[in-house]
Every structure is written in structure tokens, then in C-alpha cells.
Amino acid sequence: MATADQRTTSTTTCSTSGVNVRKLFPHFEITGALCSNRGAGRRGGFTLVELLVVILIVGILAGIALPVILPTLDTRRLREASRTVTSYLNGARDTAMRNGRPVGVMFERFSVTDDGGTTRQQPKMSIVLRQVEVPPPYAGDTIASRALIGGGQIVGLGGVTLNMGVLTVTGPDYGVTRLVKPGDLIRFNYQGAYFQIASGTADTIDNRYLKPPTPTEPWTISSLGVIPVHIQAATVAAPIALPYQIIRQPVKSANPAMQLPESLVIDMEYSGVGGTGSEFSSLNGNAPVVVMFAPDGTASHIYYNYMRASVGSAIHLLLGKRERLDNTWAASQTGDDMSNLQDLENFWISIQPQSGLITSSNVGAINAATTQPADALKQSRVFAESAQALGGR
């Protein structure tokens, strides 16, 4: 009987692609199956029909799953955006406390200019937030700078004669026309009440006027550059030239701005102060809204419609969806016709003035029988007013 070595050497030569396999591996037994037709070892795979069936099944499963998954993704995107806005506001508050100077956040109303120079605006929404800070007070260009307020009969809107304080600056204080704007505050002799500066023409000192310092004698401004209408006669100070100090409005800081994710906006139409306020609506003006934090961490005041106002109630900002921006509130609206005020997936970003606490809360459900917008706002802000913070992931 032949040994294994004899069987290996005596068998027929096996050649693959011109190479003698038996000479390459003389110590291994090469079976006939290995040297058989090479086509018998072809690879397996899917046929075209099988691939089409698999693709069809995947498409059916995706069609079933996506309608369930997408709303969850929208809710998560809103939730994450609310946390981002809250963090940005907290960052401004922390900066104010660290630097010992007022710092705030400006909510810019949407505006874009195309290549042709045409500017498109949508004052109902804000998608860009910027950190702002108050510049150092302006007290004139020289140590001898003085200012006074004198009375005078001034014709205001509608031909009404007004008793207004006229601001006059002595000396070559060119910074007044360069730096000071309507809405800035001024006080005299470094004491007493602050007066708000208004103007008929923003770049001429002769047309600068003073608003009374108390809310019991309010002024109304229809737009920037219009002399304010006085509701009651104001008592102006004696025309004595005194040192003055002007508190300028906030300016943008060097810190980077924050932009909301695509399709999400701050809906200004329903944002405001307190349970029913809508002060930030575009109906009240298109100026940016600014929330300022004092060095002690409190939300000291806000700017809107070129005016500065103290706040005694919570500030509420509605984070919603861009596609609902033009939908106005109505009790009968449902589905795609709902406004951001009614969409329970949206969130309120709330700032408590006394503590500076910033929270995110779910939009509350509005009773279908509600007919008044103020009542709808109150119901939608029910969680925000009680400072119920957002939980979960």
C-alpha cells in the first residue's frame, strides 16, 4: 500500500492558472475537489428581484415610522433650543454680576438685505440674540461742561401746544450729537431723578427734549424721530446750568451672538410682561427688545419701542415655530391653523425680575370657550407665571 507521500507524488498534476499547486505544496494532499472545475466555487449573492423586495420592505417601514418619529424630533429640537436660550440669558446675568456693570441680551427683529439692496423685515419674530452692555456715563467733553432744561411752548403732534423741557448744553460738547440718542437718560448735578431724552431730529441738539421722570406723567411716541405727546403738563426744572450725566443705551458687546435653529423663532407678537402683557408685539414698534441684568443679578429693566421701562412682573418670551408665525389666535383654530400661543409643543422663556431666575415652561392649554386675547395669554402662561421649570430630557 502506498504511503501518504507516495500518494501525493504519484497523483495527477494539479494546475491553477498555469501554476503547479502540487510543487508549491508537496507535503499536503491535494484532493480532486480542489482541482476540479473552478466555476464550481463561484460566489453567492442577491438577485435583482431580492434586492428590490428588500428596498420595498425598508421603504414601507420608514413610511410607518417617520410620522411617529418626526414630532418627537420637533419637540426635542424645541426643548434643546429653550435650554440654549436660557443658558445665553444666564451667561449675560453672570457677566453682569462678575463685572459689576449692567449687561443684557438684545432680541433682534428679523431683517435681511439681499444682493440688490432690498431689505426684507419680519418684525414679528427674532432669531438672533446678542449680548449688550451699558457704556460708561457721558458727562461732557470737558470738566466745564454744563447743561440746563428750560421751559417753552412747543407744538407737538396734531398741533397741540406742549410744556416740555428743552435740553441745552453749554460748551463744545460734540459727543452729545455723536453719542447720545433718543431714549438715553440724563440727570443733573449727579443727583435726583433721571429724565429720558427725546428728539425731533436725532442729530441736532436744538431739537432734544426731556420726558418727565415719573410714570404718572407719561409720554407717548408714535415712532422714532417724532416729538413725544405729553398727556399732562410737566413741571420742568429751573433753567440753571449744572453738571450733567447721561446714561446711554446698551451697545452690542464683543461676545458672539446666538442664532436659533432653523424653523424656530421667538414669537414677539405674544411676548411681553406679566400674565397678559404683549408689549413686544410689532404693533407697538419694530425696535429690538433688550432685557438688562443689574450687577446684583436682578432683571432691572427692559428696552422696547425706543423706551426704557422698569419691570415689576415676569418677562415672558414665546419660543415657537416659524410656520405658525402668521397664524393669529382664535379659539376655533386647530392643527396647522394654530398660532404659537396654542401649540403645546412650544415653550415660554421666563425671567423673574426680583431674583433674575430664568426658566423654561411648557405652553399651557387654552380653554376653547375663551374669547379675549388677554385671557388666552393668561392661560397659555399659567406654568410660566408660577415659574414651573422644564424637566426631563
C-alpha triplet 121, 79, 91: angle, nearest 5°:
75
Give yes or no: residues 201 and 317 share one domain: no
pLDDT at 388: 63
HSE toward the beta carbon, residue 95, CA cutoff 13 A: 18
pTM tops 0.75: no
pLDDT tens for 96-119 read 999 999 999 999 999 887 777 777
pLDDT tens for 47-87 read 888 888 888 888 888 777 766 666 666 778 899 999 999 99
Give yes or no: residues 287 and 185 share one domain: no
pLDDT band for 289, please (50, 70, 90 cuts): very high
190 phi/psi in degrees, rounded to 5: 60, 30
| Higher pLDDT pick, 370 / 187 | 370
Residues spanned by the domain of 127: 70-101+112-131+260-385
Choosing from 248, 271, 293, the residue where a domain stops is 248
Give yes or no: residues 175 and 231 share one domain: yes
Place of cell 431723578: 193
280 found inside a domain: yes
281 found inside a domain: yes
Q: Which grid cell is 209?
A: 427734549
Task: State the DSSP H helix or E strand holding residue 144, giving kind and residue range, or none if neither.
Answer: none
Range with the poorest average pLDDT among 105-119, 214-228, 345-359, 362-376: 214-228
pLDDT band for 133, please (50, 70, 90 cuts): very high
Domain count, the chain: 2
HSE toward the beta carbon, residue 113, CA cutoff 13 A: 2
pLDDT band for 187, please (50, 70, 90 cuts): confident
Average pLDDT in the chain = 76
Choosing from 224, 248, 272, the residue where a domain stops is 248
pLDDT at 9: 45
